Structure 1
Amino acid sequence: MPLEPIRPRPGLLAPEVELDNITTILDDSAVLHRLRLLVPAGMVTVLMGPSGVGKTTLIKHVVGLLEPDGGTVWIGGRDYWDSSKEERQEIRRGLGAMLGGHNLFSTSVFSSLTVLENLTYSLEALGVPDDERHDRAMARLRELRLVEESDRLPDTLPAHASKRLALARALVADAPLTVLDEIDVGLDREHSTAMLDAVRSLRARTGCTLLVTTHNLELARSIADNLAIMVNGRIVASGPPEEVLDGVETTEDFDRRFEFSDFVGPPRLEDAEAAAERRRPTPKRAYQFAVEPQMVWIAVAAVVLLAALFIAVKLFSGGSAAPF
């Protein structure tokens, strides 16, 4: 009998994700500019685009690793970067993630834990009972063909096995929102098939919201409900994959359709700076009390003035000037 998925709080179940007017500047370069992307609840959204266009930066905004300079990241109707520490922790508890980038998934696993322990540790942190952790972890390892590696440390694994471990760790929580960056990098066809089956299994078990980045046209067609194309820090096309990729069969077709036909070109730094909120103020909450120095001096002056008036009135009326 298959195990029941972890049941998150109702407000976190299959959240919608929306990136609204996102602008990001890194190292004096405009990476994202007025980007808008909707990731519908309970659906698989695949993000495609050439290397270096900002896909991983976008992913970091969603998983809480990098705050954009402008715009809003909505997760389940809440502004992530304008939320309290407690609210962010609650959102993160409903998030499973595998990050790509230059470190090749090493940031997604703990090097001091074995393959199996990496998964059971994640479940323990979520409060999963002892008697369920091992079974859940082993189920994900079987899916991704890692059972024989369960007692090994991540640093001793070949690259393709490290990638599958990072994926297994992202999937094991059955999170209501799962984000998978560069999902197909480093896998041959055999292991890509296992990965695809594992993602489909997650979707069938949980009905979660999935955001996936890839360069693989075949994979995008296989799993996407919605497909978004990113070029030069913007979303240039989005919709059902059969419509967005109509007539696109090869990488060359993709480049001609999207990359080379984007006549707007990369965003200019000055335009991004104009669009960005370069110094986003800390939201003022009920428990916060901010005091400006000039306000202190005004308050002191007011007290002194009132005291002087009180003394003057007492002296003028012939009474005692002592206020007590």
Structure 2
Amino acid sequence: MTQALPGVWFAKKRNIPCYLYVQDLWPENVEIITGITNKTIIGSIGKMVDYIYKRCTKIYTTSNSFKESIEKRGVPSDKVEYWPQYAEDFYIPIEKTTIDEIPDDGVFNIIFAGNIGNAQGLDILPKTAVLLKKSNLKRNIRFNIIGDGRYKDTLVNLVNSANLSDMFNFIPKQPATRIPQFMAANDAAFLCLTDSPLFAMTIPAKLQSYMACGIPIIASADGETNRILEESNAGVSSPAGDAQRLSEIIIDLSLKTQEELTKLGFNARDYYDNNFNKNELLNRMDHHFGLNPIMEEKYHV
């Protein structure tokens, strides 16, 4: 949030509009991620945030819940607008395929791609895998974890100590442009967030990327993410932190036919096109910035 201060000061000096895009709520995010609870520190950050909000011409947010939270800080509702994130153009549906990194052995493959950090709540996966092993599965399940992060070593150790290595496939970080190929080699994509009021208000950018690739989604999350999955009928969701319920929905999804899985993937892409379309979102922003028709034609927006 501190990076907004130079913008606010420069806008005032030049007497020009100042626009802010909020992807993380402060001071809430600082408190949860860092563990800082000192009222003096959090209160000071809150005052800085209010200072910035007050001096911005327009504030855009990545979720409706963020919009509501900012309005509760005394910001007029007409000053705040929901403008979600979109996925880059290379995130597209690809026909079912096989790749070297993921064995083609009839297992129900679930992909997680991205940062492996504390906020992702991936500690739920070893717990869920233990429950799945006890369930006499009709179809084996594998979690393909692609990426890196501060929590990765801990996650690998949890998997190994619980003798779950046969259910996990850790793959090094890949170029973003390869991720759609990995999606096409999996049956479903997984995302999760820790159990927190802040993360319940968050729409992780991973959700848009998954939807753009047209793959069924499994989520361990509350709030906005759960709402979108229910609206789109693009997958299944369980409450954040609930390993038992997560294991149950994974089993249910693994038993669906390929036709049913394809339908869920189609729903995901359809919802993406109607709600997170890049061109439409950029056109909306151009309108707010007052881009004239000549420039619109020149830049094909």
Q: Which has the higher contact order (CA 8 A, sep 6+)?
A: 1
Larger radius of gyration: 1
Higher strand share: 1
The answer to whether TM tops 0.5 is: no
Higher helix share: 2
Question: The TM-score by the shorter chain falls in which range?
Answer: under 0.3
Q: TM-score, normalised by structure 2?
A: 0.27
